[in-house]
């Protein structure tokens, strides 16, 4: 998940006008609400090196507040357990040693209950800091809250991967009553006129450092689809031999197809000629009106080649989003937890992250901040592709038009889809 450093923020209030203490309590409570649906055994499992146990997500986000706020800013604060600095550091070289990412699932101790006690200890101390901390501390708190929101989304994507390989195919939560399947909205092409566009976060609220500095780019005349590609449309690609036609694929992508036996998006299964997919509601038949989801950058590029189109650049995506209706910013921190994409609608506030054709690189004038917090983003600006928008699992208040998510081109376990673009 993309991550970063605070650019600009308010010391006293945050999304939706909530005070910072209120926002802190709401974000932390949401993490616990997500984890409450999981047993201690569920919280322990790590299904692959790219995923982390739910228990680890709960602990690491607490480690962040303890390490970067409480220890340096709250006089007299005592760490809950000094060994946790080693156990729950993710990738901060400046902070010290850590366990290998792929070994996080081996941490049977501390238990899930002990992690709960750790979170309560940190939360109690943070309330004291929030009452008396200055502007510098408030900026770090806002960064920590946005960091925790990223881990809330990862908690869901990671447990989905774990449940999907469990032969019992457990459901994370029951599905609500489903609406009758409908046709996806007709695909329209939105004009992106040639000219100068402002890109990046220009101030007024929180942003990660990879969204800055704001700058101008020259865009060619192009068009972008009014919505992402649907499940029904992607099925046509599969039925036309999309996963058997090397000419559609980037070389690295075709190697992945052969190496891993890709025949469809992750979690799709075909039995007796009918397709279904694993969701956090359990197995269910495909809905043709939903956005295709859990596809890699390679699959998105192959589909675009098959359709005679291309992926938009991240600059085209952002410019079109601002011009034709930007990503929705939800302010209700108590909003119901979403765990599966809803049917498609027009616009840029959809339920899947959208692959772009842009490599994850620094903006002109980007500078890595000093200290450990500066490790948040800059050192990952290689071998990754940018995704824009939001997903069904993105927490309320965490979406904006300038947000830059990023993953390696083979990643499929995130809620990732795509929309098409073409030259005018």
Residue 175 domain flag: no
Q: Are residues 205 and 151 in the same domain?
A: no
Q: Which CATH number characterizes residue 417's domain? A: 3.90.1580.10
Residue 10 domain flag: no
- Is 1 a residue whose pLDDT tops 50? no
Number of domains in the chain: 2
Q: Are residues 127 and 222 in the same domain?
A: no
- Identify the band that residue 337 occupies on the pLDDT scale cut at 50, 70 and 90: confident
Q: Are residues 150 and 193 in the same domain?
A: no
- Identify the band that residue 16 occupies on the pLDDT scale cut at 50, 70 and 90: low
Residue 408 domain flag: yes
- Identify the band that residue 420 occupies on the pLDDT scale cut at 50, 70 and 90: very high
User: Given 130, 164, 198, which residue is the final one in a domain?
Assistant: 164
Q: Are residues 335 and 416 in the same domain?
A: yes
Q: Are residues 339 and 205 in the same domain?
A: yes
The 10s digit of each residue's pLDDT in 202-258 is 988 999 999 999 999 999 999 999 999 999 999 999 999 999 999 999 999 999 999
Q: Are residues 103 and 202 in the same domain?
A: no
The per-residue pLDDT for 43 is 98
Share of the chain above pLDDT 90, in %: 81
- Identify the band that residue 335 occupies on the pLDDT scale cut at 50, 70 and 90: low
Q: Are residues 26 and 96 in the same domain?
A: yes
- Identify the band that residue 375 occupies on the pLDDT scale cut at 50, 70 and 90: low
Q: Are residues 283 and 374 in the same domain?
A: yes
Residue 180 domain flag: no
Residue 342 domain flag: yes
Q: Are residues 36 and 160 in the same domain?
A: yes
Q: Are residues 43 and 118 in the same domain?
A: yes
The answer to which of 15-24, 144-153, 169-178, 329-338 has the lowest mean pLDDT is 329-338
Find the mean pLDDT for residues 357-373. 89
Token representation of residue 397: 């208040």
Q: Which CATH number characterizes residue 79's domain? A: 1.20.120
Share of the chain above pLDDT 70, in %: 93
The 10s digit of each residue's pLDDT in 121-138 is 999 999 999 988 777 789
The per-residue pLDDT for 124 is 98
- Is 169 a residue whose pLDDT tops 60? yes
Q: Return the HEC string of the chain.
A: CCCCCCCCCCCCECHHHCEHHHHHHHHHHHHHHHHCCCCHHHHHCCCCCCCCCHHHHHHHHHHHHHHHHHHHHCCCCCCCCCCHHHHCCCCCCCCCCCCCHHHHHHCCCCCHHHHHHHHHHHHHHHHHHHHHCCHHHHHHHHHHHHHHHHHHHHHHHHHHHHHHCCCCCCCCCCCCCCCCCCCCCCCCEEEECCEEEEECCCCCCCCCHHHCCCEEEEECCEEEECCCCEHHHHHHHHHCCHHHCHHHCCHHHHHHHHHHCCCCCCCEEEECCEEEEEECCEEEECCCCCECCCCCHHHHHHHHHHHCCECCCHHHHHHHHHHHCCCCCCCCCCCCCCCCCCCCCCCCCCCCEEEEEEECCCCCCCCCCCCHHHHHCHHHCCCCEEEEECCCCCCCCCCCCCCCEEECCCCCCCCEECCCEEEC
- Is 194 a residue whose pLDDT tops 50? yes
The answer to which of 3-17, 156-170, 305-319, 388-402 has the lowest mean pLDDT is 3-17
The per-residue pLDDT for 329 is 42
Find the mean pLDDT for residues 58-75. 96
Residue 111 domain flag: yes
Residue 9 domain flag: no
The per-residue pLDDT for 334 is 47
- Identify the band that residue 326 occupies on the pLDDT scale cut at 50, 70 and 90: low
- On whether the pTM is more than 0.85, the answer is yes
Which range marks the domain in which residue 301 is found?
Answer: 189-423
The per-residue pLDDT for 332 is 44
- Is 13 a residue whose pLDDT tops 70? no
Q: Are residues 150 and 238 in the same domain?
A: no
Q: Are residues 368 and 264 in the same domain?
A: yes
Find the mean pLDDT for residues 185-194. 95
- Identify the band that residue 182 occupies on the pLDDT scale cut at 50, 70 and 90: confident
Residue 247 domain flag: yes
The per-residue pLDDT for 135 is 76
């Amino acid at each position: 998940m993309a991550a970063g450093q605070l650019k600009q923020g308010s010391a006293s209030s945050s999304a939706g006008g909530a005070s910072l203490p209120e926002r802190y309590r709401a974000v932390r409570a949401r993490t616990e609400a997500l984890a409450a649906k999981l047993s201690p055994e569920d919280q322990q499992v790590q299904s692959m090196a790219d995923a982390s146990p739910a228990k680890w997500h709960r602990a690491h986000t607490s480690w962040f507040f303890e390490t970067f706020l409480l220890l340096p800013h709250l006089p007299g604060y005592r760490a809950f357990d000094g060994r946790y600095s080693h156990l729950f550091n993710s990738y901060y070289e400046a902070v010290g040693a850590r366990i290998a990412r792929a070994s996080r699932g081996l941490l049977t101790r501390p238990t899930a209950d002990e992690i709960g006690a750790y979170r309560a200890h940190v939360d109690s101390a943070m309330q004291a800091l929030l009452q008396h901390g200055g502007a510098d501390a408030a900026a770090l708190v806002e960064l920590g809250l946005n960091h925790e929101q990223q881990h809330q989304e990862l908690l869901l994507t990671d447990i989905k991967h774990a449940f999907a390989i469990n032969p019992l195919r457990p459901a994370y939560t029951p599905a609500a009553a489903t609406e009758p399947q409908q046709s996806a909205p007709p695909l329209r092409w939105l004009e992106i006129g040639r000219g100068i566009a402002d890109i990046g976060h220009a101030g007024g609220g929180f942003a990660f450092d990879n969204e800055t500095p704001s700058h101008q780019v020259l865009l060619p005349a192009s068009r972008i689809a009014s919505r992402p590609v649907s499940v029904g449309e992607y099925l046509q690609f599969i039925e036309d031999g999309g996963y058997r036609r090397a000419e559609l694929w980037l070389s690295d992508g075709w190697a992945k197809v052969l190496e891993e036996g890709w025949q469809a998006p992750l979690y799709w299964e075909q039995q007796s000629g009918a397709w279904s997919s694993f969701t956090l509601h359990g197995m269910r038949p495909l809905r043709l009106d939903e956005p295709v989801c859990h596809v890699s950058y390679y699959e998105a590029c192959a589909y675009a080649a098959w359709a005679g189109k291309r992926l938009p650049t991240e600059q085209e995506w952002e410019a079109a989003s601002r011009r034709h209706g930007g990503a929705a910013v939800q302010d209700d921190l108590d909003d119901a937890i979403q765990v599966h994409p809803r049917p498609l609608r027009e616009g840029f506030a959809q339920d899947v992250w959208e692959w772009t054709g842009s490599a994850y690189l620094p903006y002109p004038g980007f500078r890595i901040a000093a200290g450990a917090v500066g490790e948040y983003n800059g050192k990952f600006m290689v071998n990754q592709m940018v995704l824009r928008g939001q997903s069904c699992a993105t927490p309320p208040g965490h979406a904006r038009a300038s947000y830059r998510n990023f993953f390696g081109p083979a990643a499929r376990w995130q809620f990732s889809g795509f929309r098409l673009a073409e030259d005018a």
